């Protein structure tokens, strides 16, 4: 029986793009179902009743939510072209850094984007820089976080170049979080990542993406 793989996503959501990337790395054919997050579909609410967010992967009728959980599911279900290391310690470390991105960097990035108080925002920018130092160290001597090829951490970390480093344009007040001279390894990694086919195929076009995120940030700020 043919496998049925569907991805519920939204074009500007980098969490959704993580899943596109993993499915393409594996060469798994899938149907992409674009979601309107301002008017959530009955299908999204049915497939992700707890969080009501994208991405959701539906595999042969069964749904899986939360991008890091989905990435692990994909890696176990289609084991060729692995995105997680085989060694148990390396695997644990990959999970550790992927969670570090979601649990530390993402909330700090949101704080920078929506904080209205200048001092509090400066403090959040400084916090982001401190957090990024850990990743700078992690990349030393490596092509990718995953070694020679893209892995779980690289896929999770697409939020750094295609969100955090775009804050200058998104927040609109000159927020240069990651200067190249301070984070040379990260800049080297961003360049390599941006030249990788699967990334080029999946990342939303810059101008439309920045405009979308800017409008979202403005909406959130004016509602606060
Ligand atoms: N932790 C979730 C985050 C997903 C997420 O925040 N999705 C956003 C789009 S980028 C969403 O669906 N937002 C809709 C909402 O919050 O109502 C994951 O890793 O999948």
pLDDT in tens, 33-79: 999 999 999 999 999 999 999 999 999 999 999 999 999 999 999 99
The answer, yes or no, to whether any atom of ligand 1 lies below 6 A from the CB of 72, is no
Q: If you measure from the C-alpha of residue 152 to the centroid of ligand 1, how many angstroms do you get, rounded to a whole number?
A: 18
The dotted CATH code for 5-77 is 3.40.30.10
- Angle between helix axes 106-114 and 118-139 (nearest 10 degrees) is 150
Look at residue 167 in the predicted model and tell me its pLDDT: 85
* Atom number in ligand 1 closest to CA 10: 9
Q: If you measure from the C-alpha of residue 181 to the centroid of ligand 1, how many angstroms do you get, rounded to a whole number?
A: 33
The answer, yes or no, to whether any atom of ligand 1 lies below 6 A from the CB of 162, is no
Phi-psi region of 64 (alpha: psi -120 to 50; beta: other; left: phi over 0): beta
The residue that leads in pLDDT, 125 or 172, is 125
Question: pLDDT by residue (tens digit) across 164-192?
Answer: 998 888 887 677 888 899 999 999 999 99
Ordered by start, the domain boundaries in the chain are 5-77, 88-223
Look at residue 224 in the predicted model and tell me its pLDDT: 81
Asked whether residue 137 carries a pLDDT value surpassing 80, the answer given is yes
Q: If you measure from the C-alpha of residue 142 to the centroid of ligand 1, how many angstroms do you get, rounded to a whole number?
A: 30
Asked whether residue 104 carries a pLDDT value surpassing 90, the answer given is yes
Residue 11 pLDDT class (50, 70, 90 cuts): very high
Mean pLDDT along residues 94-104: 98
Q: If you measure from the C-alpha of residue 109 to the centroid of ligand 1, how many angstroms do you get, rounded to a whole number?
A: 14
Look at residue 70 in the predicted model and tell me its pLDDT: 99
Q: In the sheet where 31-34 sits, what is the strand order?
A: 31-34, 5-9, 56-59, 62-65
Residue 87 pLDDT class (50, 70, 90 cuts): very high
CATH 3.40.50.300 fits 88-223, yes or no: no
The answer, yes or no, to whether any atom of ligand 1 lies below 6 A from the CB of 163, is no
Joined together, the tokens standing for residue 214 give: 């800017």
Nearest CA to ligand 1 atom 15: 53
% of the chain with per-residue pLDDT over 90: 88
Do the Cβ atoms of 98 and 68 come closer than 8 Å?
yes
Nearest CA to ligand 1 atom 19: 67
Look at residue 141 in the predicted model and tell me its pLDDT: 92
Residue 1 pLDDT class (50, 70, 90 cuts): low
The answer, yes or no, to whether any atom of ligand 1 lies below 6 A from the CB of 66, is yes
Asked whether residue 205 carries a pLDDT value surpassing 70, the answer given is yes
Q: If you measure from the C-alpha of residue 140 to the centroid of ligand 1, how many angstroms do you get, rounded to a whole number?
A: 31
Q: If you measure from the C-alpha of residue 36 to the centroid of ligand 1, how many angstroms do you get, rounded to a whole number?
A: 12
- d(Cα 69, Cα 49) in Å, to the nearest integer? 16
Look at residue 192 in the predicted model and tell me its pLDDT: 97
The answer, yes or no, to whether any atom of ligand 1 lies below 6 A from the CB of 55, is yes
Residue 114 pLDDT class (50, 70, 90 cuts): very high
Mean pLDDT of the chain, nearest integer: 95
The answer, yes or no, to whether any atom of ligand 1 lies below 6 A from the CB of 15, is yes
């Amino acid at each position: 029986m043919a496998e049925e793989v569907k991805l519920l996503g939204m074009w500007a959501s980098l969490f959704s793009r993580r899943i596109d990337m993993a499915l393409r790395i594996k060469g798994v054919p899938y149907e992409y179902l674009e979601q309107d997050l301002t008017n959530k579909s009955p299908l999204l609410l049915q497939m992700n009743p707890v969080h009501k967010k994208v991405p959701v992967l539906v595999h042969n009728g069964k749904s899986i939510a939360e991008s890091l959980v989905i990435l692990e599911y994909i890696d176990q279900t289609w084991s060729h072209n692995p995105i997680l290391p085989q060694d148990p310690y390396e695997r644990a470390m990959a999970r550790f850094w992927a969670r570090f991105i979601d649990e530390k960097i993402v909330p700090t990035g949101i704080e920078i984007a929506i904080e209205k108080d200048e001092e509090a925002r400066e403090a959040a920018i400084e916090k982001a820089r401190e957090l990024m130092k850990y990743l700078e160290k992690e990349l030393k001597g490596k092509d990718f976080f995953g070694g020679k090829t893209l892995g779980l951490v690289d896929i999770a970390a697409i939020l750094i170049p295609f969100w955090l480093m775009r804050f200058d344009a998104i927040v609109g007040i000159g927020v240069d979080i990651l200067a190249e001279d301070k984070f040379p390894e990260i800049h080297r990694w961003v360049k390599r990542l941006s030249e990788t086919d699967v990334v080029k195929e999946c990342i939303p076009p810059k101008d439309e993406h920045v405009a979308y995120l800017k409008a979202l940030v403005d909406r959130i700020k004016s509602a606060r």
